[in-house]
């Protein structure tokens, strides 16, 4: 048995993206305007919890939304196609089991931070964010710590009152 809820299919296996939404994502035309990019990022952002490192990956498209003007590039095309592919075949996210330990794995790169909430080697949720302003100047170590702090805040309802493990590289 599965339940269709707000564009997600929930079953005993876990949570997955509704296939009708992935079809819409796959058929999305290459944006030619800021409005088109904003629409694509809106739909893609709704399912960001299924894509590891979404914030950093989407950064080239997000930069097109600034007031500096719309200049579609080869990097934007690559990012657009990569995100479409990632969202057309996303993983099934495990439903949280509060009798099992949670693990947070964090990562950071030059332009973004991210984390994965895991149970028994299966993803429960992904979190990522593109860095802006002074956060771009942080060291890799500081970015990793920022990813951990933000992930704990994001998933505090899962983690509150229970020990959990943090892994970082």
User: pLDDT tens-digit profile of 3-38?
Assistant: 888 888 888 888 888 888 888 888 899 999 999 999
Q: Is residue 16 located within the same domain as residue 41?
A: yes
**Pair 159, 149: CB distance under 8 Å:** no
Q: Give the CATH number for residue 29.
A: 3.30.70.270
CA distance 125 to 164: 15
User: Which domain range does residue 128 map to?
Assistant: 102-167
When pLDDT is cut at 50, 70 and 90, the band that residue 138 belongs to is very high
pLDDT at residue number 4 = 86
User: pLDDT tens-digit profile of 48-91?
Assistant: 888 888 888 888 998 898 877 788 999 999 999 999 988 888 88
**Structural domains of the chain, count:** 2
C-alpha angle 82/136/131, rounded to 5°?
A: 45
User: pLDDT tens-digit profile of 100-120?
Assistant: 999 999 999 888 899 999 999
Q: Is residue 54 located within the same domain as residue 29?
A: yes
Q: Is residue 72 located within the same domain as residue 138?
A: no
């Amino acid at each position: 048995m599965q339940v269709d809820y707000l564009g997600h299919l929930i079953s005993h296996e876990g949570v997955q993206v509704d296939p009708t939404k992935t079809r819409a994502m796959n058929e999305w035309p290459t944006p030619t305007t800021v409005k088109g990019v904003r629409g694509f990022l809106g739909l893609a952002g709704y399912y960001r919890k299924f894509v590891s490192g979404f914030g950093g990956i989407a950064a080239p498209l997000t930069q097109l939304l600034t007031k500096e003007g719309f200049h579609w590039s080869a990097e934007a095309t690559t990012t657009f196609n990569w995100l479409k592919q990632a969202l057309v075949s996303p993983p099934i996210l495990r439903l949280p089991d509060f009798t099992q330990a949670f693990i947070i794995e964090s990562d950071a790169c030059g332009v973004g931070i991210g984390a994965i909430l895991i149970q028994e080697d299966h993803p429960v949720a992904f979190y990522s964010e593109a860095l802006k302003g002074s956060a771009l100047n942080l060291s890799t170590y500081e970015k990793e710590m920022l990813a951990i702090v933000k992930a704990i805040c994001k998933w505090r309802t899962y983690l509150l009152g229970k020990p959990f493990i943090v892994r970082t590289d």
